[in-house]
Structure 1
């Protein structure tokens, strides 16, 4: 599902009961932080192991496997998706892993009727079909191919005037309201971008729209960026971006089984009662099909920032363009096949290090997801080669190929929901990959792992430039004058949603990392039939040097996590990042207050009316309710306690000598370290979405993939729900105190050793 720098990968960078925390916090002295090798790993032994791992990696395997698995459409429920799952499982088994294919029965609608036509002021039947290209060997395959559609759109047969709504996000509707334009009873036309696609029909429905059409604008995703396929990599005139519009910010996974694994005997909601299924029909189209619709619109000319790259004046409507949209789906259960492979640990068999990547695609799915999948497979094969030499991991390694990620993270979410208790008891870290390309390493995840991933990126060389991955990214940050370029550890980004890490971090409270290369990859094939082997070979990582490098990075993550006597979670960076989230929310609170005061003053002075053009309708904005004072003191004090705990742990860790901890002490410390992330969850979750339990990160309710840090506070401010803002300031403070208590307990054990 993931795109890279043009989409969802950005640059690189439970519970313990607490009494009333102390009001006064004594400073813990800050010291130079030690490395994982200083306290938990033998550098010589580990370096030899990693060199052996690197030596067996073979880019040709990635090429062979991608060509094979992308040779046919492989969406969930298709014959080739099952075949690919069996192929992956057979490979895992041959490499020495104990392997099974776990299945779930998930709702997945397949399109039966797709019809879109302009009926006024003249008639045009739209093509709704991607062409066959002689330059792309698999573009002619139509058997078992899903046409361009949006999964979990409602059935519908509607005819109405058309309104162009730009990206269709909340602020666009504020602009429409000022222009006196109402979408109630209308069909909206939105362009991809500005948010995750599912937000567009969601917000449209909230404003009364009865249908939604989403198109790829060439300014964002076509000839406005470069030559189009097959001459160049970018989206061609009839290329369509498929995708899900399930309301995943409420909860991902099977919409009929929230919180429970979708096994055959589980109780299911009725489709009509599932809150995440879209309530209006939604259809994606190409910019070639969008052009006659835009040409037929009149009404106000769109604001400059709403105008795209098509050769037409962008009008908003409504009308005189009127369209007929008819969609009907087969709402059946499909079997999702998750191959899961385990290599049992010799010392800590009940501590799991997990890797995952999805194997299903919307069509051929070469880049998304197979570029990441074949890298994971080569990584697992290399682990298997180490086992042949007599090495065995200390901790249990788990490798998974998720099915049904594209429709709604179905395969991974159902697996986490079904195994949640065991996952929370045993899982150390989940490491995710998805589509990967070329350029710079992007890393997101739990900030307790920020220092650890920085230790690894300085040890792995860029396959093109003769510098480490970290040094190359640091150079890029310097060129762009990013203030974090000189930070000792480059930042990793906080996690929203969009790939299979979601259920682990947001629902189960498992620490995660999400990795992939991007920044120099050529887009344009995303979720179309042209995300093919031919496109990937010509315009992406065709020699698989970055895919192989990704295997080196993830292999080191897995091997070091497996072998470390003390798990490499570190909390100074975590506390510093959380501090920045707190400050960001404080600034937002002040900005909301200032915006409210300024707008209301201008309304009192009738400034909007006086300054307006009398020849155009442009109404004053609505008056805003007054913003109360927010007391961030409890949160500031909790954060201070977290900082002190983090430095207390660093001091205790620095005093540990290798080999001096007993097995029982190691077990106790590692158990506490694993529970820190879970300590920052809340069983009742976030407002209107109990499934999302992490108090530090969440996907935005109105952004979809994009992260909201301290989401209960931030979205309370953004949505002007002051009671929620007050409440979650206190809830986040409690979460930080729970985390600090875990860290303190771990530090006390180390100090006593």
Structure 2
């Protein structure tokens, strides 16, 4: 009894001393503090510095931008380093385009130059307009208009009896990835391709620098490579002195076009379209009312296209900053944005880089107040994204095993700001977290409401997109190794995309004059990262994932109706997955309902978090998609003929399209096989969430 009484007395004294000591603030205190630390001037300064010069990947200017990011992160007491890779990048050597018209009309030789406006900084450093990885060579043939260059557009031309063999396809930007436009043109028999910026989609009555529209001479440049990562090191990192495939093997991969192509302005496109004869194009193929009538050709004008490029092994640099986790340093919350730009890159991508540096600055301020993240936070500033997601893909391929076992989530911001309107996409278990974060950040364009309020009023609900397209650096994380991911930004498409006019002047006049939108993106991005880094139980909700799978399965049912196919295995797996999602949600609530339990049973918390973290990995299959084996995720991956677009279950839908064309028993068996593959990965994800062995 005396011993017990003494022990009780000691506990009382210890408790009294503990309560009189300064207590560490809870994570929620620091999260609120993070939101209050906004600095628009700092963001503006970062963006101005990053965009003073054009900084295409592999250039000295881009290396200087990397040094700026590194020094800024270091100044915030964030240990940082650069990770170099040596990758195959493409640059233009010679370009020409001539339209030969029927006599007596003289030929038109296009200058292929973007007009320089007064005060355009470092005008002479902008790389001439080109398509990266376009086939070097010449093509001459009658012009044939192919609308947006989609597979269905070329099919419509074929159905109308328009022969593209030996022709030069003329398509407009807007609906699909430019590389797929050129690939589709080659598949249709075209000898070359010209892709123009249509005034209907990108131009106005007035244009930059007076208004935000693309000027008549503006050109959207970009890559036409349809793969991911360095094309000479498929599946392994491009470290110095590494193994590489030959140029012939790159061409045989089917990921680079085998015909030459050029991007042109809407002024040049207008001249080409006015020269066209042949049948009048359908109404939905027409341009602006003042552009004249669009016809499909062929000709009578003949396009003579010549492109000569070079591919060189060039050093690129990722910049990596690390805030070490205090309790789970082996769990990584990763924030990513690329730095390289085709020209100045004020919106794409350096609005995102400026926001990343703002998030880092605020977290540095939190550390000075005593905050220590539970889990490790990584800042990843990628290089050579514009060429084909190269910097992020090479890093993921080099660190695959560590990331597969340790990455909690990847949070991407590419174009952080391009106008008004919150826009986000994610794997479904992050939906709820994104909604919660949007409710805590004020709308930069209406201070009387939150971003959530404006988001739901404009879209009829908090609609989160999905990460099926290969449009940015999340691709390697979610589609290759199965890491829960999100992509965040304010604004959608904007007219000066990938042109020389995407500069600091455009952003400060039209994109975000007060830099409030940038500050808001930094707030949401950072808040989501803080929750993932600090919450004892990971804030994932797989019930929304189960619902998404059910909806997608119902849509698929209509595609296989009246066929000798069954989606019953998939339905059964989804039902198992939903039960597992409900079960782990209940476990989370039980743990969260008792602080004492969480404190005592850290192993249980860790085990639940591991199941939440690893379930996304289970949706990947080691064989990957047929015809695109680098893409391992069977739920979300790019569509075959449009790298920007996607559907759920891309492998199934690709086989359905093939089966509709061939309509053989073997082709429909291939569809059934893909259904079984998806059913199996969903079941694996259910087992992972349950944490049980069969």
TM score, norm. by length of structure 2:
0.91
User: Is 1:735–2:652 an aligned residue pair?
Assistant: no
Assess if the C-alpha contact under 8 Å between 2:347 and 2:415 holds in 1: yes
Distance (Å, rounded) in 1 between the aligned partners of 2:53 and 2:189: 40
SS of equivalent to 2:675: helix
SS of equivalent to 2:377: strand
Q: Offset of 1:490 from its aligned partner? A: 4.8
Which among 675, 680, 699 is matched to residue 638 of structure 2?
A: 699
Q: Offset of 1:428 from its aligned partner? A: 0.6
Name structure 1 gaps, 5 residues minimum.
1-41, 479-484, 594-627, 749-753
- Alignment-derived partner of residue 505 in structure 1: 478
Q: Could you list the per-position Cα deviations for residues 121-168 of structure 1 after superposition, in whole angstroms to 9, with x for gaps in the alignment?
A: 24111010011111x532x6112x211111110001122221111111
Distance (Å, rounded) in 1 between the aligned partners of 2:43 and 2:54: 19
Q: Closer, same or farther in 2 for the Cα pair 1:299/1:43, shift >3 Å?
A: farther
Distance (Å, rounded) in 2 between the aligned partners of 1:693 and 1:493: 16
User: Is 1:640–2:640 an aligned residue pair?
Assistant: no
SS of equivalent to 2:443: coil
- Alignment-derived partner of residue 196 in structure 1: 177
SS of equivalent to 2:491: strand
User: Is 1:582–2:553 an aligned residue pair?
Assistant: yes
- Alignment-derived partner of residue 344 in structure 1: 324
Which among 465, 469, 483 is matched to residue 451 of structure 2?
A: 469
Distance (Å, rounded) in 1 between the aligned partners of 2:258 and 2:226: 10
Assess if the C-alpha contact under 8 Å between 2:90 and 2:310 holds in 1: yes
User: Is 1:562–2:494 an aligned residue pair?
Assistant: no
- Alignment-derived partner of residue 547 in structure 1: 518
Distance (Å, rounded) in 1 between the aligned partners of 2:408 and 2:347: 29
Which among 35, 42, 53 is matched to residue 54 of structure 1?
A: 35
Q: Could you list the per-position Cα deviations for residues 439-470 of structure 1 after superposition, in whole angstroms to 9, with x for gaps in the alignment?
A: 32211111111122222112222123211211
Which among 241, 261, 268 is matched to residue 282 of structure 1?
A: 261
SS of equivalent to 1:337: strand
User: Is 1:237–2:216 an aligned residue pair?
Assistant: yes
Which among 517, 520, 523 is matched to residue 490 of structure 2?
A: 517
- Alignment-derived partner of residue 133 in structure 1: 117
- Alignment-derived partner of residue 502 in structure 2: 531
Distance (Å, rounded) in 2 between the aligned partners of 1:49 and 1:79: 39
- Alignment-derived partner of residue 33 in structure 1: none
Distance (Å, rounded) in 1 between the aligned partners of 2:420 and 2:202: 20
Q: Offset of 1:531 from its aligned partner? A: 0.3
Distance (Å, rounded) in 1 between the aligned partners of 2:692 and 2:536: 14
More off after superposition, 699-708 vs 657-666: 657-666
- Alignment-derived partner of residue 333 in structure 2: 353
Q: Offset of 1:634 from its aligned partner? A: 0.6
- Alignment-derived partner of residue 307 in structure 2: 327
Which among 641, 648, 651 is matched to residue 712 of structure 1?
A: 651
Distance (Å, rounded) in 1 between the aligned partners of 2:463 and 2:160: 45
Q: Offset of 1:45 from its aligned partner? A: 2.1
- Alignment-derived partner of residue 20 in structure 2: none
Distance (Å, rounded) in 2 between the aligned partners of 1:173 and 1:467: 46
Assess if the C-alpha contact under 8 Å between 1:669 and 1:746 holds in 2: no
Distance (Å, rounded) in 2 between the aligned partners of 1:477 and 1:368: 24
- Alignment-derived partner of residue 229 in structure 2: 253
Q: Could you list the per-position Cα deviations for residues 265-319 of structure 1 after superposition, in whole angstroms to 9, with x for gaps in the alignment?
A: 2211111211212111010000111222222221111112111126232121112
Assess if the C-alpha contact under 8 Å between 1:454 and 1:490 holds in 2: no
TM score, norm. by length of structure 1:
0.84
Distance (Å, rounded) in 1 between the aligned partners of 2:62 and 2:693: 47
SS of equivalent to 2:348: helix
User: Is 1:426–2:426 an aligned residue pair?
Assistant: no
Q: Offset of 1:474 from its aligned partner? A: 1.5
Matches within 5 A, 1:403-418: 403-418=383-398
- Alignment-derived partner of residue 725 in structure 1: 671
Name structure 2 gaps, 5 residues minimum.
1-22, 660-666
SS of equivalent to 1:257: coil
Moved over 6 A (4+): none
Aligned length: 652
Distance (Å, rounded) in 2 between the aligned partners of 1:343 and 1:46: 16
Q: Closer, same or farther in 2 for the Cα pair 1:541/1:335, shift >3 Å?
A: same
Matches within 5 A, 1:122-201: 122-134=106-118, 136-138=119-121, 141-143=123-125, 145-201=126-182
Q: Closer, same or farther in 2 for the Cα pair 1:350/1:741, shift >3 Å?
A: same
Q: CA RMSD in A?
A: 1.9
Q: Offset of 1:492 from its aligned partner? A: 4.2
Q: Closer, same or farther in 2 for the Cα pair 1:292/1:453, shift >3 Å?
A: closer
Q: Could you list the per-position Cα deviations for residues 539-596 of structure 1 after superposition, in whole angstroms to 9, with x for gaps in the alignment?
A: 1112111111111111111111111111112111110011111112222334xx7xxx
Assess if the C-alpha contact under 8 Å between 2:99 and 2:272 holds in 1: yes
Q: Offset of 1:230 from its aligned partner? A: 2.1
More off after superposition, 683-692 vs 561-570: 561-570
User: Is 1:296–2:275 an aligned residue pair?
Assistant: yes
- Alignment-derived partner of residue 436 in structure 1: 416
- Alignment-derived partner of residue 621 in structure 1: none
Distance (Å, rounded) in 2 between the aligned partners of 1:197 and 1:149: 12
User: Is 1:677–2:659 an aligned residue pair?
Assistant: no
Distance (Å, rounded) in 1 between the aligned partners of 2:303 and 2:421: 44
Distance (Å, rounded) in 1 between the aligned partners of 2:579 and 2:407: 27
Assess if the C-alpha contact under 8 Å between 1:497 and 1:705 holds in 2: yes
Q: Closer, same or farther in 2 for the Cα pair 1:43/1:436, shift >3 Å?
A: farther
Q: Offset of 1:343 from its aligned partner? A: 1.1
Q: Offset of 1:44 from its aligned partner? A: 7.8
